[in-house]
Structures are given as C-alpha cells and as structure tokens.
Amino acid sequence: MNINYTIFGQSLTFLIFVFFCMKYVWPALIGVMAEREKRIAEGLDAANRADKDLVLAQKDATKRIAAAKEQAAKIVEQANQRATSIVEESKETAKVEGERIKAGAHAEIDREISQAREELRGKVSSLALSGAEKILGTSIDISSHNAMLDKLASEL
C-alpha cells in the first residue's frame, strides 16, 4: 500500500487511454449515432408528411364524390323536369292538334252540309214541279213560276 512510481505510471496510462478514446472511439460512435438520429428523424418526417398527404387526398376524394353526387342529382332533376315539360308540351300539342282536327272536322261537316243543301236546292225545284204536275195533272211552265220556285229553294 505504498505510494510509489506506480502513481505516475497509472497517470500516464490514463492520459493515453483518454487520448485514444477521444481520437478513435468517441467521434466515430457519436457520428454514427447522430447520423442514425438524423435518418430516423427524416423518416418520421416523411411518414408525417405522407399521413398529411393521405388526409388531404381523402378530403379531396370525399369532396369530389360529393360534387359528383350533387351533379348527378342535378342531372336527374333536370331530366325529370325535362320529362315533365315534354309531357306537358305533348299534352299541349295534342290538345291543340285535337282542336285543330276537331275544327277541321267541323268545317268538313259544315261544308258537306252546305254541299248537300246546294244539291238539294238544285233538285228542289224539279221535285216541286214534278210534285205539282202530278197534283195538277198538267205541265207547268218553269219560267212562269221560276220566281216562286226560287223563293222556295232559298227557304230550304
């Protein structure tokens, strides 16, 4: 347990070890660890970013789906409206057409009535004459009685 030169030997050994550690051990190890730390931090950062991107993409997708749905609903509504308007239009057209046909028919009927009346008017004088001849047993001069006959025909 004597103090002797060992103390200097130990000091020198100690200093050499510390120097070696400072030169060849510590910087290399700390460097590797710092590098890894940086890498991990970058990785975490990237993961974070990806997460944010995903959220954004999801939001975007939801927005787009909502927009598409809205558009689809609008289109359906428009189509419905169009269909109703077409039906209305056709009803209207049909009504008008019906009216027109009806009017045409009426005109035809009127025309035919008047035609039949004209025909009848033409024939009424001869019919009336032949009837009167039969009754009177004599022939009647058409020209002498023309005025009366015309009056009769116009009364029809």
Where on the chain is the footprint of other proteins (CB under 8 A)?
1-11, 13-15, 17-18, 20-22, 24-30, 32-33, 35-36, 39
Q: Which is nearer to other proteins, 1 or 136 (CB)?
A: 1
The CB-of-12 to other proteins minimum distance in angstroms stands at: 9
Quote the distance between the C-alpha of residue 122 and its chain's center: 66
Q: Which is nearer to other proteins, 40 or 72 (CB)?
A: 40
Q: Which is nearer to other proteins, 3 or 135 (CB)?
A: 3
Q: Which is nearer to other proteins, 8 or 134 (CB)?
A: 8
The CB-of-23 to other proteins minimum distance in angstroms stands at: 8
For the chain, give percent helix, strand, coil, nearest 5: 95, 0, 5
The CB-of-58 to other proteins minimum distance in angstroms stands at: 33
The CB-of-50 to other proteins minimum distance in angstroms stands at: 21
The CB-of-44 to other proteins minimum distance in angstroms stands at: 16
Cβ(140)–Cβ(119) below 8 Å: no
The pair of structure tokens assigned to 117 is 């009346």
Distance (Å, whole) CA 87 – CA 75: 18
Whether the CA torsion 67, 69, 75, 78 is positive or negative: it is: negative
State the CB neighbour count (10 A cutoff) for residue 132: 15
Q: Which is nearer to other proteins, 3 or 156 (CB)?
A: 3
Number of H helices, E strands in the chain: 3, 0
